Amino acid sequence: MKPIRFSREEITAIAARLRPYFRDELEVELRDLQAEMLVDFLAREIGPFFYNRALYDAQAVLKAKADELAEAIAGLERDA
């Protein structure tokens, strides 16, 4: 599987969200490098769980739409 990669802008944005959480909830001040290393760790080790959940959710949506389409097509059938 291809690793999850974020752009520099995404890493900066994610790190900016981590810093206040760690400061407010854990009383830990993260420096830039620490926050970016944490983003890398989360993407590598935990990201696949979120990615797989998103795939399962997308698959469920597609299945529901396919079922709706099959019902619509069946509704077009004519008596022979």
Helix, strand, or coil (residue 80): coil
Q: What is the pLDDT of residue 33?
A: 96
- Its pTM stands at 0.75
**CB–CB of 69/28 below 8 Å?**
no
The C-alpha angle 24, 20, 9, rounded to 5 degrees, equals 165
Q: What is the pLDDT of residue 59?
A: 98
pLDDT digits (tens, 9 = 90+) for 26-74: 999 999 999 999 999 999 999 999 999 999 999 999 999 999 999 999 9
How far is Cα 72 from Cα 34, in angstroms, rounded to an integer? Answer: 54
pLDDT band at 10 (very low <50, low <70, confident <90, very high): very high
DSSP 29-61: ---HHHHHHHHHHIIIIIHHHHHHHHHHHHHHH
